[in-house]
A and B are shown apart, each in its own frame.
Chain A
């Protein structure tokens, strides 16, 4: 079946630190992979996506590469800002729905 395992949080970093949030998946077939972000008081927003193996999704300085050999889609950012504080969700698509990880809360301190 489909499932997503995500790095446990919370994660606290200083501004300009390097961020990695790990995500691995199990899936039947070849899903597309996503990172969603939820800022305080808001809904889930698509941050980036990758639709096939070796694709790299990127947005707002965040990147993630679809690694079929390690079934991973780790989220990285070279230099985080206070405004990146949010909850990050890794997800993959089924036929008509998304399968999410538990979410990782990131707090960036000045």
Chain B
């Protein structure tokens, strides 16, 4: 069964450093998403991406964040200058569409980011 994969599973970085979290969505999916979960808090939407552009983003997704689909398979989230409060589990997801019947989002196992 196809699945979303994410690398690395755990990333430790120092405050101020740039990090890139990588995701490989399901191959025939067209919509891609990033979510995060700070320990003990809700899973929060960051950004959705379709047709090589951002379709929606939350207020969390500020200028420090960017997303890219550099080739036909990868979908990346970059944080330019990490802060302590960026420490969280980051989930990538993909879906075939956004209409009823095609909107199921398939999630990866997550990348735990720890900023020290």
| Chains A and B come from one and the same complex | yes
- List residues of A whose CB falls within 8 A of some B CB: 4, 32, 36, 41-46, 49, 51, 89, 91, 93-103
Interface residues of chain B, those whose CB is within 8 Å of chain A, are: 3-4, 6, 31, 33, 35, 37, 40-45, 48, 50, 55-56, 58, 91, 93, 98, 100, 103-110
Minimum CB–CB distance from A20 to chain B (whole Å) comes to 20
Chain B: CB-nearest residue to A5:
B42
Query: Contact partner of B56 among A89, A97, A102, CB < 8 A?
Result: A97
A-B contact count, CB below 8 Å? Answer: 59
Closest to B101 in A: A51
12 other contacts beyond A45-B107, A96-B31, A96-B98, with CB at 8 A cut-off?
A32-B103, A43-B3, A43-B6, A44-B91, A49-B104, A51-B100, A93-B103, A96-B48, A98-B35, A100-B42, A100-B44, A102-B40
**What is the CA–CA distance of A32 and B104 in the complex, to the nearest angstrom?**
11
* Contact of A43 (CB < 8 Å), options: B4, B42, B55, B58: B4
User: Complex: how many Å from CA A89 to CA B35?
Assistant: 14
| Complexed CA–CA distance, A57 and B104 (Å) | 14
